[in-house]
Amino acid sequence: MRKFEFKTLMSLVNGIYKNVSANEIKKLSEEIEKIFPKNKKNKSKNLWNEEDFFLITYADSIIKKNNKNFNMLLNFLNNFCKEFNFVHILPFFPSSSDDGFAIIDYKKIDTENGDWSDFKKISDKFKVMTDLVINHCSSSNILFYNFLEKNDPGSDYFIHSKKKNIGISKVVRPRTSDLLKPIKLKGEKGFVWCTFSHDQIDFNFKNPKVLIFFLKIIKFYLDNGVKAIRLDAVAFLWKEIGTNCINLPETHNIIRLIRLLVENYSPNSLIITETNVPNDQNLSYFGNNNEAHCIYNFSLAPLLIHAIISGSSFYLKKWSRSMPPAQQGNAYLNFLSSHDGIGMRPLEGIIPKSELNRFFKVLKQSGAFLSFRASKKKKNVYEVNTTLLDAFSQTFEGKDNLKLKRFLLSHEILFTMEGIPAVYIQNLIGSSNDFNKYHKTKSFRSVNRKNWEYNELLKKLKSRTSINKKIYEALTRLVTLRKKQPAFHPNATQFTLQLEDCFFGIWRQSIDRSQSIFCISNLTRKKKIFYLHDVNLISTDRWFDILNKKKIKNINDKIFLSPYQSIWITNKKY
């Protein structure tokens, strides 16, 4: 952890506002320093280990009539999610659209969810991650109303142009709607910048007041018990006409500033960046161990899903071998799907277009929707919208009855990878595509955002025959087993094994080198023979397959792997 020094703060502020005078930089830095008083007790901490797991959920993923959503969520967490210590509660503030990501008020909690006292009941038992929707706010936010009327605060908080032709042809964005929204500013026609939708108005971070506004919001969240802050859509933060307006240096400097302030004020809290961009760009958000503590490992999900559906680990292995290990103080956040579906931009430059088209075709045949983004007058697939369970309905070889095995296999691999695992609540309870919700909202993303009625879900989780119960129990068992293995520490050594493409395998070794685990999976729907001499099992150690509860009697033996079966072979049982 970097020592908090005023000159370091000034240097970061100067890196953001390069054209501001030295005197103004000093005043701005002094104002920021007052927001985050120094924590005299702060010490360097080990922020994570193999026992850490994230659960991703909306406040209203589980609901019950006449009950606050936070209370029902806490009830479910206490009864069914004790193995998870981090809970990412997706935006729970008053919002006008995008399931919470068009925020009307950053400091209030939507009344249906509860209030800050209800939030505290959750944060007292779990480490809560909340979203800082930092790129934009709702068009119904008081700041935007003030902007339209030229009142403060907000009169200069947004990007405004009197004309539409302002040199935006290079701008990269995840939507196909018009970037500029027509408005009337005190009766005068003009345009504002909208990266995502016309209900989500982008902030102008060239105005230092906007930065100050969000730093105060961060402090407010930390003071209310938040332990991790997810910087939503942060890659788009800084705009510069004539550029692609993504991943710009000023954006990285703002993240460095946030990291410095947070780790000195609240040293046990995490900054996590959400940047659904190609892999090399995503990795840049680690900085030099001075930006995000954790980055979403966006490439893993589509690559792993592709490997299982295609029955080949070729592209997954190629990517895995090229991934740099995270430094101490950094970690990957690994997940398979989320509220936003399965992002496809991270596959750019990794999987050829013809192979991608085949992949998309199979997913569509399984009931998935494809969402697009604009790029040089062409439409490219931005994300696939489906539940993870339904994504595995069929493979390149067609339909079969092995969907559940593929679904569980994906988690058996996910939980072995370097980084901190995160499980979306719809995956934990085995949700299928919610087409009823989609027909109501007309939003593709709704298929994977089911609002479960609490008693209905309870019946499913108690029924011996329900797929929901089978999935919940299988995943909970996996989580429990993984948490006991030091070799699965988020920063433990990882090496991708040189195996046939029908297999995917990695070797993990604990930081103290006492435990090794060889994790091998059969990616096909055919029985395969795996020869143990293909991995280096030390002859003086005793080896166990802890996933299937079997002893390895002969390190030169062969193992028959059933369709979509995994083995976790370790020299130490815990």
Run of H or E including 552: strand 550-552
Give the span between the Cα atoms of 463 and 113, in whole angstroms: 29
* Plot region of 396 (φ>0 → left; ψ -120 to 50 → alpha; else → beta): alpha
The two structure tokens encoding residue 111: 């009344």
The predicted structure's pLDDT at residue 529: 98
Contact (CB, 8 A) for 217 and 107: yes
The predicted structure's pLDDT at residue 165: 83
377 pLDDT band (50/70/90 cuts)?
A: low
Place of tokens 């988690």: 411
The two structure tokens encoding residue 522: 């059969």
Q: Over the stretch 229-281, which tens digit does the pLDDT of each residue have?
A: 999 999 999 999 999 999 999 999 999 999 999 999 999 999 999 998 999 99
The two structure tokens encoding residue 279: 């892999």
Place of tokens 């020592």: 3
Give the span between the Cα atoms of 445 and 467, in whole angstroms: 23
In this structure, which amino acid lies at residue 389?
Answer: L
For residue 8, give Cα distances in angstroms to 2, 3, 32. 9, 9, 12
187 pLDDT band (50/70/90 cuts)?
A: confident
Which candidate, 107, 197, 210, places its Cα nearest to that of 159? 210
Contact (CB, 8 A) for 412 and 566: yes
Q: What share of the chain is helix, strand, coil (3-state, %, to 5)?
A: 35, 20, 45
Run of H or E including 123: helix 116-123
Q: Is 232 a catalytic residue?
A: yes
**Is the per-residue pLDDT at 349 higher than 50?**
yes
The two structure tokens encoding residue 236: 């788009």
Annotated catalytic residue within 52, 98, 110, 232? 232
Place of tokens 């931009």: 345
Give the span between the Cα atoms of 202 and 143, in whole angstroms: 12
The predicted structure's pLDDT at residue 221: 98
For residue 472, give Cα distances in angstroms to 389, 404, 469, 490, 493. 12, 12, 5, 23, 29
Region 497-522: mean pLDDT is 98
**Is the per-residue pLDDT at 378 higher than 70?**
no
Give the span between the Cα atoms of 134 and 143, in whole angstroms: 14
Annotate 284-308 with b (16+ C-beta within 10 A) or e (fewer).
bbbbeebbbbbbbbbbbbbbbbbbb
135 pLDDT band (50/70/90 cuts)?
A: very high
Q: Over the stretch 28-83, which tens digit does the pLDDT of each residue have?
A: 999 999 999 877 666 657 899 999 999 999 999 999 999 999 999 999 999 999 99
Q: Over the stretch 398-433, which tens digit does the pLDDT of each residue have?
A: 999 999 999 999 999 999 999 999 999 999 999 999
Which candidate, 52, 53, 9, 47, places its Cα nearest to that of 28? 9
Residue 303: DSSP 8-state: H
Whether omega before 302 lies within 30 degrees of 0, making that bond cis, reads no
The two structure tokens encoding residue 405: 């095995």
Give the span between the Cα atoms of 86 and 62, in whole angstroms: 18
Contact (CB, 8 A) for 330 and 293: yes
The two structure tokens encoding residue 551: 């002893």
In this structure, which amino acid lies at residue 131?
Answer: D
Give the span between the Cα atoms of 437 and 448, in whole angstroms: 9
Q: Over the stretch 444-457, which tens digit does the pLDDT of each residue have?
A: 999 999 999 999 99
**Is the per-residue pLDDT at 2 higher than 80?**
no
pLDDT exceeding 70 applies to what percent of the chain?
A: 97
Q: Over the stretch 193-216, which tens digit does the pLDDT of each residue have?
A: 999 999 999 999 999 999 999 999
The predicted structure's pLDDT at residue 69: 98
Give the span between the Cα atoms of 206 and 444, in whole angstroms: 34
3-class state of residue 394 by DSSP: strand
Q: Over the stretch 522-545, which tens digit does the pLDDT of each residue have?
A: 999 999 999 999 998 999 999 999
**Is the per-residue pLDDT at 145 higher than 80?**
yes
Give the span between the Cα atoms of 174 and 244, in whole angstroms: 12
1 pLDDT band (50/70/90 cuts)?
A: very low
3-class state of residue 352 by DSSP: coil
Measured over the CA atoms of residue 518, residue 524, residue 525 and residue 530, the dihedral's sign is: negative
**Is the per-residue pLDDT at 111 higher than 60?**
yes
The predicted structure's pLDDT at residue 43: 62
For residue 298, give Cα distances in angstroms to 12, 277, 495, 534. 28, 8, 19, 30
Run of H or E including 253: helix 249-265
Residue 120: partners with Cβ closer than 8 Å, 6 or more residues away: 224, 225
**DSSP per-residue string spanning 436-483:** HHHHHH--GGGGG---EEHHHHHHHHH-TT-HHHHHHHHHHHHHHHHH
Which candidate, 327, 331, 260, 266, places its Cα nearest to that of 295? 331
Q: What are phi and psi of 84, to 5 degrees?
A: -100, 135
**Is the per-residue pLDDT at 341 higher than 90?**
no
pLDDT exceeding 90 applies to what percent of the chain?
A: 91
Lowest mean pLDDT among 34-43, 224-233, 477-486: 34-43
Which candidate, 283, 308, 305, places its Cα nearest to that of 296? 283
Angle between the N-to-C axes of helices 353-365 and 300-310, in degrees from 0 to 180, rounded to the nearest 10: 80
Q: Over the stretch 146-169, which tens digit does the pLDDT of each residue have?
A: 999 999 999 999 999 999 888 899
